[in-house]
Every structure is written in C-alpha cells, then in structure tokens.
Amino acid sequence: MEVYRWEERKFGRLEPLRFSEEREFEDLLEKDATLVLGEPLCIISRQPPLSTSKQKIDLLALDRQGNCVIIELKRGKPSRTAITQILEYAAGVSQLSFIELEQLAYRWCQQQGKEFSTLTAMHSEFFGYEPGDIRKSAFNQKQRLVLISEGVDTRVLEVAEYLRALGLDLTYISYFSYHAPDEILVATETVLGGTIVKEEERNYGGRTTQQFMTLTSFVELLQVNEELLQVANEFVEYVDTCGATLRPRIAKLRMTIGGRWWLDTYPSRRATHFRVDVHGDFTPLHIVECRANLPNVTVKNFGISFNVATKAHLDYAIEIFERVRNAILF
C-alpha cells in the first residue's frame, strides 16, 4: 500500500517505516487502541502472565460490554504459530475471574501512575456510563481475539477463516506504517472479522445496549402486543403505588426503594414478554416455587430473574415483589 502526502504543489510519496521492535507500536496502542477494532477499548494490562502459556499477551483490554479483548501484535508477517499462541491466550483469559482481572488492572494503573479504585469504576469512567449498569458477572463472558501484523500471511488467514467460521471471534488486521515529518502514520485494513460481537448485541426495537431506556420507550416497544402492553401498564402502576423511583438505565429501567436496588426490567425483542430482575435474598424453597409459577427463572448473584408474559405471571410476581420490598423497607 502506497501513501502520498500533498506537499504544496505535488504529491510526495511517504516511505514505509518499520518499527524496530514490536514494543514501539505496542507503546502507541497502549495509549490508544481505537484503531484495533475501530471502537474504544479500555486497556487493563500489558504483558500479563497466564498459567496456560509461557509467553505473555501483548495487550489485554475490555470492550464496552465487558468482554476481554486479546491483542497480539506481530512485526512482519506472522507464522502459523501465531494462531496457536493467541488461542492459548484465549484459553488462559477465559479462566480469569473478575477479581483476577481487577488485580491486573490495578497493577497496570500503578505502572501508568494512574489512580485506581475498582475495575467497575475504571470501566464505567472510560466508557461514560453510571457505575452499576454493568454487573461484575457480565465481565469476561466472551473473549475477542485480535491478531495484528505487517501484511498478510495466506496460511494464517486460511486458519483464521476456519476458526471464525466455527464461531470464534477472531479478527485479523494488517497494518503499514510510514515516515512523515514529525509524524507517525499508520494505515490498517481488517482482513478478517470485526462483526461477530456487534451482531450479538441486544437490540430492542432498534435500541442498542448503549442507549438509555425511558418509561416512554419501554411502553413504545410493547405496543405491538396489546395484551402484554396492558400487563406492563399494570406493572408500572403497581411500582408507582409502592412509591418507587424509576431510573432510566442502559437498555433497561431500574426501580429503587429507599435508595436501594429493587427491580430492573427490559422488554424482549419481539414484545413477547418483559424480563424482571429482582434484587434480594431468596431461599432454595422460594426459588423452587418461582420456577413452578414463572417462565425462565434464573438464579443470579443479586437475586432472581424471570419473564412476565401474562396477567397470571404478574399476579404471582407481585407476591415476590412485595416480599423483597418489605425486606428492604423493614
């Protein structure tokens, strides 16, 4: 790829620049990794050790949803061992707990001379959302692999295409760098990938997970199902009579009682139900009863989650809401 720069009356061809070491380009990506996937990435570690590999990841980052992004940089064209290497990294990263990710982020911030309190605070500040909108359990649910090299190796590309066809979120990027007066210019091309995670983002009637949901938008998304809309209106009326505070959050509504979390809710894509997260303590017996009366009951670290699709579901759910509400208030 040739790059030209307009110099007064003619184009001047820029000479290719090859970084003398991988760490030179790595230094730049550590400061700003946007060009990797064309989206902001929050760097949390550089060269972290992993139990699954003797080698170390070049850069480890988090995306907006809390997925881990493994960035492997190669000066020159990569060999096929680069694929094996990045798969080893993915296996190791998949085993990292939230606490281990937080420890990596803490050490990286110390090295950078940056203040650090918690990983959730670091992540929310970087992406500009309110702490609590993404729970700890949501972090590292998926791993995104990014291989960056100078030029493209066709053998590596064939293997990468095969792995991506199997569902692995692997992106292969080719880059070239150039000399310019007092500047470093980098051109990138996504040879393979860059869309798997974006395709899986939840979308509610055209609203992505990065948009705030209001009561108005919540109701609008259910208008195509008149029966469910009536159930949702009764749910909102009940919440209002309880004196709860309704707070718009990213892709969901949050209801608090006495300043404490009580309920979160969001609609299904096809308006077949709305899901409710109930924050509170539940005994095993009560969970069994819920599963006998409500669809898709899931036990979470904050409480339980289930779907509401009918008036009967809501009537039973209100018994649960009352139990938790009374525990919070009294």
Residue ending a domain, choose from 199, 234, 268: 199
165 and 58 in one domain? yes
Which residue ranges in the chain fall short of pLDDT 50? 195-210
Number of domains in the chain: 2
- Give the tokens for residue 76: 């020159």
- Residues of the domain holding 295: 203-329
223 and 193 in one domain? no
259 and 306 in one domain? yes
Q: Which residue bears the tokens 């700890």?
A: 136
143 and 276 in one domain? no
Residue 125 belongs to domain with CATH number:
3.40.1350.10
| Phi/psi of residue 215, nearest 5 degrees | -60, -40
Q: How far apart are CA 251 and CA 266, in angstroms?
A: 7
Q: Which of 134, 128, 133, 50 is nearest to 89 (CA)?
A: 50
Q: How far apart are CA 61 and CA 111, in angstroms?
A: 16
161 and 224 in one domain? no
pLDDT the model gives residue 273? 93
Residue ending a domain, choose from 153, 180, 199: 199
Task: Tell me the per-residue pLDDT of 96-132, one tens digit each, with 9 for 90 and over.
Answer: 999 999 999 999 999 999 999 999 999 999 988 887 7
210 and 182 in one domain? no
154 and 288 in one domain? no
Residue ending a domain, choose from 174, 199, 224: 199
pLDDT the model gives residue 34? 82
pLDDT the model gives residue 202? 41
pLDDT the model gives residue 180? 67
260 and 173 in one domain? no
Q: What is the pTM of this model?
A: 0.57
pLDDT the model gives residue 2? 64
195 and 155 in one domain? yes
